[in-house]
């Protein structure tokens, strides 16, 4: 399977500009709880709706977790034990194909663990992230964030952060603090989450040396646009990544996050919902890998930047989970119908991974020669918001019959496969304070 181009191709191109002020924060408004699972405490189970028993569903999820977290290390598992330190056991989650450890995968692993009540795995992954990926030097440009990519021995491949990792770290930590309260040190999950969320919005610009040359890094959001950035490294024309937009999470941060930032995250949720409509193609529902703040594709030297490729797969899952949890933006239903209609027409058991936004398959070497499991998963999760139930059921069944990923592609495919199964079965939930 072809994998996404390295983040470092763009990170290396960042350079310093001055940042000039920020608009005053909006006043906190009364939050509307919507009509989704947050308000009702009921989660749809698309597999049960399709006729599968709860025992079968539970067995599928458990089998996927056991294989991906504890299976054969050569062909199945993406999680590996790495000894221990004063804080306890250490584990890392590896991108097997690229041979590195990414904040994306570590934070996904932690989210899966907290959802499935696997505290030992959660703590060991968080311990590794804090031991090797966290930047604790106040003079370092990435202070308060995490190196997005490391070798399996913990040494960095890059000392810049990727905000999707911080987003999932923060949400997983808040859920952990609510589900397993009373921890101390790095296991005071709530305190760790609040510190990270504050840094994501308020971290001052720091310019200085890294092992890979000088960098200038600031906050992970655009204050003016209320959007997550693709990278917080300072550059002349910052941009976003549609698959980083997580309004379902932002709504919770608007309730549980730092008090001074709650109005910002409420605004960010609203902005992201409108952004999904702007950035997706009006016929296909496909989003670009990278986008400008107005939703138009952001084209860089990366040939996959302005097309629907590996990052962009996740966007449909993001708006569909937002609909499932909050039901505030009916346009998300239209987006799910649109993208499922497109992929059904492409062949529900044969579509490939990379397309132009208007739906042309990009058959360059290594692309669209496979039917990617991760995309099967997120396209099925789009059924959480779809109104065409008959078509959505076809996507549900397509995922149901798909084997657990193994081999070289099992990292990204495996994480999206398992999280999609959890979303669609109602086992990926909001864990509120006790």
Q: How far is CA 421 from CA 378, 407, 425, 433, in A?
A: 9, 20, 6, 25
208 and 318, same domain (yes or no) = no
Mind listing the pLDDT tens digit for each residue in 272-320?
A: 999 999 999 999 999 999 999 999 999 998 999 999 999 999 999 999 9
Confidence of residue 87 (pLDDT cuts 50, 70, 90): very high
Percentage of the chain beyond pLDDT 70 is 92
Q: How confident is the model over 378-387, as a mean pLDDT? A: 98
Identify the active-site residue in 100, 158, 192, 311. 311
Q: How far apart are CA 178 and CA 174, in angstroms?
A: 6
Length of the chain: 434
Domain shared by 167 and 295, yes or no: no
Name the token pair of 96. Answer: 């097997």
* CATH code: domain of residue 196: 1.50.10.10
Mean pLDDT of 127-131: 99
Task: Answer whether residue 405 is part of any domain.
Answer: yes
Residue 29: what pLDDT? Answer: 56
CB count within 10 Å of CB 235 equals 18
Q: Is residue 156 domain-shared with residue 249, that is, in the same domain?
A: no
Residue 14 has pLDDT above 80, yes or no: no
Identify the domain boundary among 187, 215, 238. Answer: 238
49 a catalytic residue: no
Assess whether 104 carries a catalytic annotation.
yes
Give the mean pLDDT of 70-85.
Answer: 98
Do residues 395 and 309 both lie within one domain?
yes
Does residue 288 fall inside a structural domain? Answer: yes
Confidence (pLDDT) at 4: 45
**346, 397: one domain:** yes
Residues 308, 267, single domain; the answer is yes
Q: Are residues 248 and 147 in the same domain?
A: no
Read off the pLDDT band of 364 (50, 70, 90).
low
Domain count, the chain: 2
Residue 87 lies in a domain: yes
What domain range includes position 47?
33-77+242-429
Do 176 and 229 belong together in one domain?
A: yes
Mean pLDDT for all residues in the chain: 93
Q: What pLDDT, on a 0 to 100 scale, did the predictor assign at position 21?
A: 36
Mark whether 313 and 220 lie in a shared domain.
no
Catalytic residue of the set 95, 100, 104, 159: 104
């Amino acid at each position: 399977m072809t994998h996404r181009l390295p983040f470092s191709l763009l990170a290396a191109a960042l350079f310093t500009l001055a940042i000039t002020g920020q608009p005053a924060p909006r006043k906190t408004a009364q939050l509307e709880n919507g009509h989704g699972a947050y308000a009702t405490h009921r989660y749809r189970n698309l597999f049960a709706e399709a006729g599968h028993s709860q025992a079968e569903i539970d067995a599928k999820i458990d089998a996927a977790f056991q294989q991906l977290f504890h299976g054969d290390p050569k062909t199945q598992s993406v999680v590996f034990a790495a000894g221990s330190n004063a804080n306890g056991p250490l584990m890392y989650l590896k991108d097997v194909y690229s041979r590195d450890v990414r904040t994306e995968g570590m934070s996904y692993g932690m989210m899966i663990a907290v959802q499935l009540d696997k505290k030992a795995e959660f703590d060991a992954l968080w311990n590794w992230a804090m031991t090797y990926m966290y930047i604790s030097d106040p003079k370092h440009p990435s202070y308060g964030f995490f190196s997005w990519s490391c070798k399996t021995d913990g040494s960095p491949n890059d000392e810049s952060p990727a905000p999707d990792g911080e987003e999932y770290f923060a949400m997983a930590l808040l859920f952990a603090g609510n589900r397993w309260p009373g921890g101390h040190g790095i296991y005071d999950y709530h305190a760790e989450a609040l510190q990270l969320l504050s840094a994501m919005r308020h971290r001052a610009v720091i310019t200085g040396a890294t092992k890979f040359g000088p960098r200038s890094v600031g906050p992970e959001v655009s204050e003016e646009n209320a959007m997550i950035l693709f990278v917080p490294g300072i550059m002349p024309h910052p941009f976003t990544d549609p698959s980083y937009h997580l309004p379902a999470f932002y709504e919770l941060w608007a309730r549980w996050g730092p008090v001074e930032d709650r109005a910002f995250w409420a605004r960010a949720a609203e902005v992201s919902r409108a952004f999904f409509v702007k950035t997706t193609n009006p016929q296909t529902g496909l989003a670009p890998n990278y986008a400008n703040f107005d939703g138009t594709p952001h084209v860089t030297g990366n040939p996959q930047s302005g097309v629907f490729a590996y990052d962009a797969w996740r966007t449909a899952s993001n708006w569909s989970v937002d609909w499932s949890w909050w039901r505030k933006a009916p346009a998300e239903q239209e987006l799910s119908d649109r993208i499922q209609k497109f992929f059904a027409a492409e062949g529900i058991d044969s579509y490939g991974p990379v397309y132009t936004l208007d739906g042309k398959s990009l058959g360059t070497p290594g692309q669209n020669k496979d039917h990617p499991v991760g995309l099967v998963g997120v396209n099925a999760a789009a059924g959480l918001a779809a109104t065409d139930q008959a078509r959505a059921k076809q996507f549900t069944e397509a995922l149901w019959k798909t084997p657990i990923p193994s081999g070289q592609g099992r990292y990204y495919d495996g994480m999206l496969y398992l999280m999609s199964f959890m979303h669609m079965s109602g086992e990926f939930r909001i864990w509120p304070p006790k």
